[in-house]
Structure 1
């Protein structure tokens, strides 16, 4: 494998697989608010959070970590402004004292934190406007959960960066199914052990927490109790769902993300980890399978983008089952069939925000991936050209699905947001 491509893939894994405490959209709001406090040099008296529809959608129904069960943009911004440690980026709310929580709740109760829809904004966009006494500041994020676009204080620009784009865009342009398969086969463990050991440790810990305690809809626990827990397919699916159960309900344990999402980070890794344990795979075999799984998920999201109306759990599940198949000796052709069979089955799952039902979508997507792999193994069959959006070439199928999720589902995204906001108004009336 060419050294430049190999190093690009290592950089992608190193920079994408980051730890985050809590759902990344409310955490991004908290991070921006913490940056605003740092800019002002004091806790703001008042905050306005101007957010894109996709940000609002993904904050509406998820519990903010260390918030005492709070949900929504307002409590995320208030906690970030009062207690956030911006230096920890996506772990900005890792430590919140009872006094901090009381102060943040007080800000929300007095109407000092408000959320406004940023019209015609990019999918991932947050602008915090904050005031402390006579001083005012703005902190603008765009394109990434911690990606600063601009910071101003009293009208003076303190930081400004070019229109946001993925800093790994050039590296990700080198991703291909053939390249990922080759990379996994020649991977040197020492190049990825630190980042993948962290993914294994963090994501396994929160999955165990979700299986041990009743979070959310208890999707993971239900799978283990209602089906044969000795079946590795059930255990692998339940682990991924249980991690989401805990995280969507405010568990403050960190998760290693994929494509900017903790749910996707868990869905792409935990089934592979479960199968690796079942097969007594070596550490090196596990690293290779996890690297392949993560990169195949990222290959798909390169076409779709981090936030859209397309459920990213599907991309993650496709990656996970490809990793599982790789552990069993699958070649590139089988991986292509797994991709086609899964995307042509559950490629229509919509993202209607982060919330407890994400765990069920993860379970459905992983189960569909395992079915797609079984079909490929037993009959050699793959859904292909002439069947809807499928192509005989798996990469073209990925591109087709990406086009559908990125362009075709824009109006779907808008309607989902309208429905959610209408329900919010009805609940508040």
Structure 2
């Protein structure tokens, strides 16, 4: 592998794996509000206007904002403005005291925070405008990625304006991935010096701590805790049970308001969790070496980003399924398998459950995480026995890379109207 490709793969990993506290769509709103707060010295407000794309709105209706016990974009905007750290990126939401929590809830429920869906073509768009009691205003706009603040205005002065990115525009490293292959991802993960990959262990540190938090405390639906304590069909203390319960528990904690950070993948904490926890649990169960753990995590996260490079941002497709394909690749390696085995596992997953729908972020995301992980475990088991989906079936092709690209086409073209229907259903209940 040439030096340029190695450097690009490292860039991909470092750019796509970031720590975040809470669901990243409301976090993006909190970041915009915190930036407004910085411009206005957090003066008392008369109004906070929040305009977001439909996908951001969908993903923020039901998810709990860390430290508040409450859900919704007014909460996210209030905590961002009153207490957020604008320099912390996806970690903008701080630990808050009980007094701060009461202040956040009071502002959010004061009638001063107004939220609506912006008429924009972007999948990810956030605009927050704050007006203070002294008549000063700040406006912050985000698009393209959760932390890409491209425009800031204070009163009549434009602080900076980098230009709004084109909807769906790919970064240089995304373009690189779109010309790559699963085989190249595998080669990089196997050959790159271990010292260059050690940073990937931060995903273990963040996401396994979330898993423990989810098992120890009751968050959301407590899917992980319930499955861990279940009676009847799931009583065996098997590796399968440990992977499912511990991964689900991490999602419970993240979506239920835990104040611990998650290591995200492709802008999603649940994707980061799904790409991380199964690998860590299996590596411990099988007594794998630290080098094997590092290379398996690299495979898992990098494969996830590779697949995600063909998916639209914030689509109606639940992308934890894609991150479970990344985990399948890492598990195949830990089990002594080959890149061909990993390719079979990915094709089985795409041929099996390629249409799981994202109907907004919330406590039920832990169910989808558990479903994706169970599908992944079945696929790895079959793939290691050299079973695969015939290329005559559905969207599966002989080539795993062609199959991944066609998954992208399916989600981009085939599910293009799904989000609007989901949003209409959700708004009718609000």
TM-score tier (shorter)? over 0.9
1:79 matched residue in structure 2: 79
Counterparts in 2 of 1:221-370, with a 5 A limit?
A: 221-226=225-230, 227-370=234-377
Match of 2:421 in 1: 415
The reply on whether 1:388 has 2:394 as its aligned counterpart is yes
Q: CA 1:53 to 1:377, structure 2 compared with 1: closer, same or farther past 3 Å?
A: same
SS at match of 2:93: coil
CA contact (8 A) 1:144 1:166 kept: no
**Corresponding residue number in structure 2 for 1:112:** 112
Cα deviations by residue, 1:23-73 (Å, 9 ceiling, x for unpaired): 111111100000011122333431111001110111111100011x11001
2:36 alignment partner in structure 1: 36
For 1:201 and 1:229, locate their aligned partners in 2 and report how far apart those are by CA, in whole Å.
27
State how many pairs are aligned.
421
Residues of 1 paired with 2:18 and 2:177: CA distance? 17
How far, CA to CA, are the matches of 1:304 and 1:142 in structure 2?
17
Aligned 8 A contact 2:275 2:304 in 1:
yes
After TM superposition, give the deviation of residue 110 of structure 1 in Å. Answer: 1.8
Residue 59 of structure 1 aligns to a residue whose secondary structure is coil
CA distance in 1 between counterparts of 2:226 and 2:106 reads: 37
Residue 203 in 1 paired to residue 207 in 2? yes
Aligned partner of 1:154 in structure 2 is 155
Provide the rounded CA distance (Å) in 1 between the counterparts of 2:259 and 2:180.
33
TM-score (norm 1): 0.95
User: Is structure 2 residue 38 aligned with structure 1 residue 46?
Assistant: no
Q: Which residue does 1:212 correspond to in 2?
A: 216
Alpha-carbon separation, structure 2, partners of 1:324 and 1:246? 24
Partners of 2:332 and 2:384 within 8 A in 1: no
Q: Answer yes or no: is the 8 Å Cα contact 1:141–1:150 preserved in 2.
A: yes
Q: Which deviates more, 76-85 or 36-45?
A: 36-45
2:405 matched to which residue of 1?
A: 399
Structure 1 position 171, deviation (Å)? 4.1
Contact 2:18 2:264 in 1 (8 A): yes
TM-score of the pair, normalised by structure 2: 0.95
Name 2:89's counterpart in structure 1. 89
Partner of 1:177: 182
Partner of 1:87, secondary structure, is: coil
Alpha-carbon distance in structure 2 between the residues aligned to 1:197 and 1:375 = 28
In the alignment, the residues of structure 2 paired with residue 6 and residue 188 of structure 1 have an alpha-carbon distance, to the nearest angstrom, of: 11
> SS of the counterpart of 2:65?
coil
Cα distance in structure 2, aligned partners of 1:175 and 1:419: 39
Distance 1:216 1:333 in 2: 39
Q: Deviations over 1:200-227 (max 9, x none)?
A: 1111111011112222222112222221
Residue 75 of structure 1: how far off its partner (Å): 0.7
Aligned to 1:123: 123
- Higher mean alpha-carbon deviation, 167-176 vs 259-268, is at 167-176
Deviation at 1:170, TM superposition (A): 4.0
Q: What's 1:188 paired with?
A: 193
Moved more, 152-161 or 262-271: 152-161
Q: Take 1:270 and 1:400, find their aligned partners in 2: how far apart are those partners?
A: 27
In 2, the alpha carbon distance for the partners of 1:228 and 1:269 equals 24
Q: Secondary structure at the match of 1:402?
A: helix
What do residues 121-147 of structure 1 show as CA deviations (whole Å, max 9, x unaligned)?
Answer: 301110001111221221000011110
CA contact (8 A) 1:340 1:384 kept: no
Taking only aligned residues, the RMSD between alpha carbons, in angstroms, comes to 1.4
Greater helix content = 1
Structure 2 CA distance for partners of 1:192 and 1:176, relative to 1, 3 Å? same
Distance 1:142 1:251, change over 3 A: same
Unaligned runs of 5+ in 2: none
